[in-house]
Amino acid sequence: MTEQFDAVEVIAAKRDRHELSDAQIDWIVDAYTRGAVADEQMSALAMAILLNGMNRREIARWTAAMIASGERMDFSTLSWPTADKHSTGGVGDKITLPLAPLVAACGVAVPQLSGRGLGHTGGTLDKLEAIPGWRAALTNDEMMAQLDSVGAVICAAGAGLAPADKKLYALRDVTGTVEAIPLIASSIMSKKIAEGTGALVLDVKVGSGAFMKSEADARELAETMVALGTDAGVRTVALLTDMSTPLGLTAGNACEVAESVEVLAGGGPRDVVDLTVALAREMLEAAGKNDIDPADALADGRAMDVWKAMIRAQGGDPDAALPVARHTHDVVAQSDGLLTRLDAFAVGVAAWRLGAGRSRPGENVQAAAGVVMHAKPGDRVTAGQPLLTLHTDTPERFDRAIEALADGYDIGADAPGDRSVVIDRIGS
């Protein structure tokens, strides 16, 4: 067939800081999905978008083109109201695992289509695959049946849902273009709008371990996504949350599953519990269930019951032992004092280098690889005390992981100031 445009013209237009027309956007998204635009050409355009940006019209059109590349789901036949949550990615961000069953335990179904690890941030599906037998791939019929019976599902997006995004998501991961706000916003919102959920709560991370390092960038991303969702008829709100320090005390796959189960059992680190409950409250309110306190469902075991049912429904054994790494190494404190900083990015890169993440699309990850933290900022430590324990099946990875952590923490005399994990809320 004769193509409507030439890819080089579209790349050059954005390279030279011009706006792309609706027709150009529609064509290049479709042509890339069909294979008529090569990966290296879309890589060049993604870099031009990262460097030169897009305006609101371009982002909205790009999102619509990605939605149009595939099917749309419809949950209107469910007997439950629906709400979904999406995080922009962080280190130790296992919140989806306890959150989905918690919200379902309160009467709102959660169709959570999740992804793989991206760069130094972990992927929800990679974490859950550490559970023996659990499977990420469900048909639409299986997903609907599980939502009706259990109320929660965490699975991979089907091949028919925004296939343009599936290709572009993998490409961005290996071409240094993950951080482009237009591409993040359109990637997330194309899937969430096509997914058909009635309400959406966005967890937009800000800090060293997030893709958005500054609060201004995180706010711009949150406002962009809230506007895209609202315009599409999805009740959308966003929380800006702190990602300067890892969430909880684990970063990896199996170790984050274990910590999530602790939260569902009524324990777990305070920051993980606080953020889980805060997001659950937003999801319940957005779905019209603001008379229910999700903290009660954590305390009385209802959320744990849904978790076990959700894992079993996808072939997993919630009571099975999780994988354990064959090798560990302790990073110890060099002096007495207070831990004043523990950098999320450094911990994320260390976990990635240990084998918890991937450096190219389709690469296998190690279920047991990761970092376990023994102190958080504000804690008193003594010289020789383990601060972090590194886990991997391939000990030759230790040196590079230790290198990533070299400037990743500080020990001093003054306690760091308290900072709430939730910084702000955006949306009506």
Count of beta carbons in the 10 Å neighbourhood of residue 29: 27
Report the candidate in 210, 145, 141 with the shortest Cα–Cα distance to residue 179: 210
Q: Could you give the CA distance from residue 76 to residue 59 in angstroms, rounded to a whole number?
A: 27
In the set 94, 120, 191, 281, the catalytic residue is 191
Percentage helix, strand, coil for the chain under 3-state DSSP, each rounded to 5: 45, 15, 40
Q: Could you give the CA distance from residue 346 to residue 356 in angstroms, rounded to a whole number?
A: 14
In the set 172, 205, 391, 397, the catalytic residue is 172
CA 76-81-83 angle, 5° bins: 105
In the numeric block, the tokens 């302790």 are attached to: 330
As a whole number of Å, the end-to-end CA separation of the chain is 46
* Secondary structure element (H or E) that encloses residue 272, with its range: helix 270-286
DSSP state of 327: E
Active site residue 166: no
* Secondary structure element (H or E) that encloses residue 181, with its range: helix 181-195
Report the candidate in 279, 78, 111, 88 with the shortest Cα–Cα distance to residue 194: 111
CA 38-40-44 angle, 5° bins: 120
Kindly state the tokens that stand for 84.
Answer: 């979904």
In the set 186, 187, 190, 244, the catalytic residue is 187
Q: Could you give the CA distance from residue 135 to residue 152 in angstroms, rounded to a whole number?
A: 14
In the numeric block, the tokens 């305006």 are attached to: 55
The alpha carbon of residue 231 and the mean position of all alpha carbons in its chain are separated, in whole angstroms, by: 23
Q: Could you give the CA distance from residue 84 to residue 406 in angstroms, rounded to a whole number?
A: 38
* Secondary structure element (H or E) that encloses residue 422, with its range: strand 422-426
Q: Cβ neighbours of residue 150 under 8 Å, at least 6 residues apart? A: 104, 306, 309, 310, 313
Q: Could you give the CA distance from residue 25 to residue 135 in angstroms, rounded to a whole number?
A: 35
Active site residue 190: no
Active site residue 274: no
Active site residue 172: yes
β-strands 370-373, 250-252 pairing: antiparallel
In the set 14, 61, 85, 86, the catalytic residue is 86
Active site residue 187: yes
In the set 126, 165, 173, 271, the catalytic residue is 165
Which residues are designated catalytic?
A: 86, 165, 172, 187, 191
